[in-house]
Amino acid sequence: MSKISVIIPTLNEEEQIPSLLESLLGIPAVEIVVSDGGSTDRTREICSSYPVTCVFGPPGRGQQLNLGARNAGGDIFFFLHADSKVESSVFKEIRWSVERGSRWGCCTLAFDDPSLRYQILAAVSHLRVKIISSCYGDQGIFCERELFFEAGGFPGFPFLEDLAFSRVLRRFQKSCSVPAKIVTSSRRFRKHGFWLTLYKMQLAKLLFSLGMSPERILEIYRGSAGGNL
C-alpha cells in the first residue's frame, strides 16, 4: 500500500488544527506532517502534543509546503489546509487514482455553508479542474512524490503558490479529481463579505495571469479591503 504524507501548513490555527489532526490519526499508511510558519498562538504547542511530524520555518505557504515535503516520507503527497475536513474515503480514492496512472489531482470541493451560492462556487471550482487542470489549495492537491520534486515543488510565493504549482504540473499531465469531498471553511467569506472576497480572488488571478508579481498582488489583495484576507 502506497504511503500518503498529509502536509499541513499552519499559521495561528489553534482553533482549527485539533479537529483536523484528530480526524487523521490512526489511518493506515498515512503520515502527518505539520509545517508551521511562525505561529504566535498555541498552534505549535498543540501540534507537538500529537504523534505527528512538526517542522518549523519562516512564514509563506509555498515555503512551508516545500519544507513539509522535504521532511515527508510518503510515496504520495497530499497538501491540506488546516481549516479543511476530508471524507474518510479520500485516501483510498487517491491511491486508486495514482495506481491507474494519475500523477496529480485534487478532491471535490464543498463548503461548510450549504447555501446555494457556495454550492455554485464549489461546482465552478470542479469545472475549472476538469477543463483547465487548475487546482487550488482548498481543494486538497495531491501528487506523486517523484512528480513533486521533478516539478520543483511550490514556488516560494507568499500568495497564489497553488495556482502557479498547478500550471507547472499540468505540463506533465492533466489533473484528475477524486469523488471524495473536501469541506473547506467559509470563514474568509463570512468575515469580509461573500461578493467582495470573490471579486478579490478573481482579480488576483487575473493580475497574476497578466504577469504581476504575487508580492504586489498580495499588497492589493490585502490593502483594498483595509485588512488581511
- Confidence check: pLDDT of 229 > 80: no
Domain 4-185 has CATH 3.90.550.10: yes
Q: What is the pLDDT of residues 123-157, one digit of tens each?
A: 999 999 999 999 999 999 999 999 999 999 999 88
Cα–Cα distance for residue pair 183/209, rounded to 1 Å = 27
Residue 104 β-bridge partners: 143
Domain boundaries, the chain: 4-185, 187-229
136 contact partners, CB below 8 Å, separation of at least 6: 106, 125, 162, 163, 166
* pLDDT tens-digit series, residues 162-192: 999 999 999 999 999 999 999 999 999 999 9
Q: The pTM is what?
A: 0.93
pLDDT digits (tens, 9 = 90+) for 7-54: 999 999 999 999 999 999 999 999 999 999 999 999 999 999 999 999
Residues 6+ apart with CB under 8 A from 87: 180, 181, 182
